[in-house]
Amino acid sequence: MPELSHGRRMLVLAICCMSLLIVSLDNTVLNVALPSLQRDLHASTAGLQWTIDAYTLVLASLLMLAGSTADRIGRRRVFMTGLVVFTLGSVLCSLAPDLTSLVVFRMVQAVGGSMLNPVAMSIITNTFTDPRERARAIGAWGAVVGISMAAGPLVGGLLVESVGWRSIFWINLPVGLAALLLTWRFVPESRAPRARRPDPIGQLLVIVLFGSLTYAIIEAPHAPLPVIAPFAAVALLALLALLRYEPRRREPLIDLRFFRSAPFSGATVIAVCAFAALGGFLFLSTLYLQNVRGLSAMEAGLWMLPMAVPTFLCAPLSGRLVGSRGPRLPLLIAGAAMTVSGLLFALFEAETSDVTLFLGYVLFGVGFGFVNAPITNTAVSGMPTAQAGVASAVASTSRQLGQALGVAVIGAVLAAGVGSSPYADAFVPAARPGWWILAVCGLAVLVVGALTSGRWARGTAERTAERLETAEIRQNVGAGA
């Protein structure tokens, strides 16, 4: 990839951030529209979970394939294809006649989305080669999530009230088309010197693992054990097969050697926990605000601002801290803030008071704003640049898997707690176990962040990078011979 001027690098960053914006907006806007969608399509709680998890599951299943494919055939080419498919999927979602069709079209969206974020991160990693400049770029990238959280609920609430829930998918069209044209004009093509070969068996095992596990969790409150048990067993078998099969491949879909690096492994665990908390938090909040408090979609969007604004403000600060002091401090702040937020709801029923509800939202927004930059930076900084697409795809997969599991687990806990009781009366006590789960997720971010960001952890990252680079040289020599 040729060396670009500072202005051109900033333009590439802006284009990549546009792809993150439409993907992030899609999730936040959809959460605000869930109650309206539920009434219009007569969806159950499980149906609402599937409208979110069908997207995140397909995304999580295909991210690593998209990252390695982009490294192999060209990041710009795959990125542009993703923009086309995602935009087309958005049009189909807006036309969905029923819940089943919407779930299917959300999966089409996800196929396109899988080609966007990890590939964009790979483009950023290869464009910004200076570590400090890269950390700041990743901080700006993380700020886009805050922008989507701030704009998504308001835009979604306005669209749902004025036009209807179908209009929430229209906002992807102008942004997607603009990003496509700008990518074609200004983003240079880049490839890895030597990318991994396709791994269809590994890819199939990942899809089976994620899909069967999520199905078992979502349907557990409604389906009998003989129906759920086979899916849980299939998920376990797929995991065992993946752990046995992947190390035997010369070029696996998931390079398990990456996990010898404590920071990389920690970033993966933290991503799952943080985004599980995010998925569960948004799911519980939007249902509570609209179905229990009786707020309109617009009013619910305004209530989400105390979470969204701190995320937007803290993300670039986190990026600067990562660049100047490393990931440890941002991770500790993130874990502490998310834990206290979860405890406010679990111990004091924060949602029943405006003051504590506001404080709980602010704390969660601060925590989530600080967590994104250290995840991304840690995942890609210690890995060979040639495999940036694969490394960033693992981090992105962890995020999406975490969000899918968060919605699945929290939704299942809520459905089991509500049962046949009146929804408004049963919601707060039924949601309490879910808030405890979110508090545990925050505590995991705090503890794992502390354990995997010290001197020992950095040593494991350096040794892992040396082994990977040595193995890469040997493979290149072997291929040349």
Note the pLDDT tens digit of each residue in 137-172. Answer: 877 776 676 677 667 777 888 888 888 889 989 888
**Angle between helix 328-348 and 262-287 (nearest 10):** 30
**Which residue, among 415, 412, 418, 410, has the nearest Cα to 434 in the 3D structure?**
410
Confidence class of residue 359 from pLDDT cuts 50, 70 and 90? very high
Chain center to CA of 435:
20
Distance, CA of 253 to CA of 67 (rounded, Å): 10
Region at 43 (left for phi over 0; alpha for psi -120 to 50; beta for the rest): beta
Note the pTM of the prediction, 2 decimals: 0.84
Q: At residue 198, what are phi and psi to the nearest 5 degrees?
A: -60, 150
Distance, CA of 357 to CA of 298 (rounded, Å): 17
Say if residues 103 and 50 touch (Cβ distance below 8 Å): yes
In what helix (H) or strand (E) does residue 254 lie, and over which residues does it extend? Answer: none
Say if residues 53 and 78 touch (Cβ distance below 8 Å): no
In degrees, to the nearest 5, what angle opens at C-alpha 471 toward C-alphas 465 and 476?
125
Which of 138-147, 212-221, 230-239 has the weakest average pLDDT? 138-147
* Burial tier of 471 (Cβ tally within 10 Å: 0-12, 13-18, 19+): middle
**Tens-digit pLDDT profile for residues 411-436:** 889 988 887 677 777 888 889 999 99
Does the structure show a pLDDT above 90 at 88?
yes
